[in-house]
């Protein structure tokens, strides 16, 4: 148990002080850092250049100036990113990579250019016709632009060999994360919802092979322990993110454990490997065609619903919690379909509105308590 505490403390240090983690990386390697906006980003290209890709999923901060730049109906992740940029938090970044899968993100690159003109924006357009070969080829050309932009920053070419190596590092990290999520289900007292989130979130601020090593060590230490008994309820989370931590702590207070997730910030990042192949940029582009069940990846068949029902059944979950990011159109389109199908399948579900800046959690506390009581009745 001491080793587990030590690993979690190291992760907490990184996740609570990402700015320091970035400085440490720079000092240790002499290399730069690139911010990666949600939802998807070809981090392997940044990694292959020896730079550190860091996740930019907002965070809790007092929004005082951002609303002079972005509309108030912009999701709280983007409000935070703009506010933090205005406060100079990202001043150590060499560039940011942004894609435009939703209406909000389509305007953020211009806002960013106005707020922090000295931090370069590298934009990508992910094609929605992603299953056809033309879509894959198109995305390859987008990734080539990203590669050239990164090369212009470092002044060094990114070789195919380095790209293949980085794809291998990321696929190994994805496997480590999937294995951890599966093992964590047996240890609901040690791996509470907030701890589970911490393990995943810390990976956004660490070099991926280092993070994979820590996660593997954690999984190994967990497996030495006998599975923990759990009298409470089990849920699957879906949505963009389940932050802030205060919300995840309410699950624990109500004896609710998270047995699996379909969150954009969590499992959607590591459930699809980059396929093997000779041309690394083509392999990276093909991964986008293989992603299933994400509101940001166009799918007229809405396989997400079946995938969620299957996930609930396979993990023995008692219900689903829809973590609805306030003002997130793609998720709002999916919710009615999921709610209807879950009702038809007789699986309880709860809708929670997520706002990273929310000060009081009393409304959520009441809703989660009622849901727990309903599951227990
Ligand atoms: S609106 Fe939704 S998809 Fe777009 S940036 Fe915000 S959370 Fe992400």
**In testing the pocket of ligand 1, which one of 41, 55, 56, 77 has its CB within 8 Å of the most ligand atoms?**
77
- Tally helices (H) and strands (E) across the chain: 15, 8
Q: For atom 4 of ligand 1, which residue has the closest CA?
A: 102
d(CA 114, CA 121): 11
Q: Is the pLDDT of residue 314 over 90?
A: yes
- pLDDT, residue 62, reads 84
Ligand 1: distance of its center to the CA of 160 in Å? 32
**Mean pLDDT, rounded, of the chain:** 95
d(CA 255, CA 260): 16
Q: Is the pLDDT of residue 51 over 90?
A: yes
Ligand 1 touching residue 330 (CB < 6 A): yes
d(CA 343, CA 322): 13
Q: For atom 5 of ligand 1, which residue has the closest CA?
A: 105
Name the DSSP letter for residue 276: P
Mean pLDDT of 286-305: 96
d(CA 256, CA 235): 7
d(CA 65, CA 142): 33
**In testing the pocket of ligand 1, which one of 36, 37, 38 has its CB within 8 Å of the most ligand atoms?**
38
Ligand 1 touching residue 163 (CB < 6 A): no
Q: Is the pLDDT of residue 271 over 90?
A: yes
CA nearest to 203, candidates 190, 216, 191: 216
Fold classification of 1-28+159-227 (topology level): Substrate Binding Domain Of Dnak; Chain:A; Domain 2 (1.20.1270)
Q: For 3-12, what is each residue's pLDDT tens digit?
A: 999 999 999 9
- Helix H or strand E encompassing 236: strand 233-239
Q: Is the pLDDT of residue 60 over 90?
A: no
Please tell me the pTM assigned to this model: 0.96
- pLDDT, residue 61, reads 84
Q: Identify the band that residue 256 occupies on the pLDDT scale cut at 50, 70 and 90.
A: very high
Ligand 1 touching residue 77 (CB < 6 A): yes
Ligand 1 touching residue 66 (CB < 6 A): no
Q: Is the pLDDT of residue 190 over 90?
A: yes
Residue 29 region by backbone torsions, left for phi larger than 0, else alpha for psi between -120 and 50, else beta: alpha
d(CA 82, CA 93): 14
Strands (E), 240-357: 256-263, 319-325, 349-354
Fold classification of 31-158 (topology level): Rossmann fold (3.40.50)
Taking the domains of the chain in order of start, what are their residue ranges? 1-28+159-227, 31-158
């Amino acid at each position: 148990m001491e080793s587990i505490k030590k690993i979690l403390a190291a992760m907490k240090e990184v996740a609570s002080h990402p700015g320091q983690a970035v400085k440490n990386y720079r000092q240790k390697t002499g290399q730069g850092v690139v911010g990666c906006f949600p939802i998807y980003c070809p981090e392997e290209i940044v990694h292959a250049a020896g730079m550190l890709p860091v996740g930019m999923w907002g965070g809790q901060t007092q929004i005082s100036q951002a609303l002079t730049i972005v509309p108030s109906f912009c999701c709280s992740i983007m409000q935070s990113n703009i506010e933090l940029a205005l406060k100079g938090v990202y001043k150590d970044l060499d560039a940011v990579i942004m894609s435009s899968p939703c209406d909000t993100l389509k305007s953020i690159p211009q806002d960013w250019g106005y707020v922090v003109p000295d931090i370069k924006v590298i934009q990508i357009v992910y094609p929605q016709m992603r299953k056809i070969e033309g879509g894959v080829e198109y995305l390859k050309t987008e990734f080539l632009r990203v590669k050239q932009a990164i090369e212009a920053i470092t002044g060094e070419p990114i070789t195919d060999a380095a790209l293949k190596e980085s794809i291998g590092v990321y696929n190994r990290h994805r496997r480590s994360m999937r294995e951890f999520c599966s093992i964590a289900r047996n240890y609901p007292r040690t791996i509470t919802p907030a701890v589970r989130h911490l393990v995943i979130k810390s990976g956004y601020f660490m070099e991926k092979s280092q993070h994979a090593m820590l996660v593997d060590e954690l999984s190994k230490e967990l497996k030495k322990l006998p599975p923990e008994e759990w009298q409470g309820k089990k849920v699957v989370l879906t949505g963009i993110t389940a932050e802030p931590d205060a919300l995840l702590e309410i699950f624990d207070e109500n004896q609710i454990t998270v047995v699996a997730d379909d969150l954009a910030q969590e499992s959607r990042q590591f459930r699809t490997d980059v396929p093997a192949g000779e041309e690394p940029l083509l392999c990276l582009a093909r991964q986008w065609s293989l992603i299933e069940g994400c509101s940001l990846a166009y799918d007229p068949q809405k396989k997400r619903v079946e995938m969620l029902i299957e996930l609930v059944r396979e993990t023995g979950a008692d219900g689903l919690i829809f973590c609805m990011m306030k003002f997130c159109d793609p998720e709002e389109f999916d919710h009615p379909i999921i709610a209807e199908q879950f009702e038809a399948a007789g699986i309880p579900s709860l809708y929670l509105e997520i706002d990273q800046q929310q000060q009081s959690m009393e409304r959520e506390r009441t809703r989660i308590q009622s849901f727990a009581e309903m599951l227990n009745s």
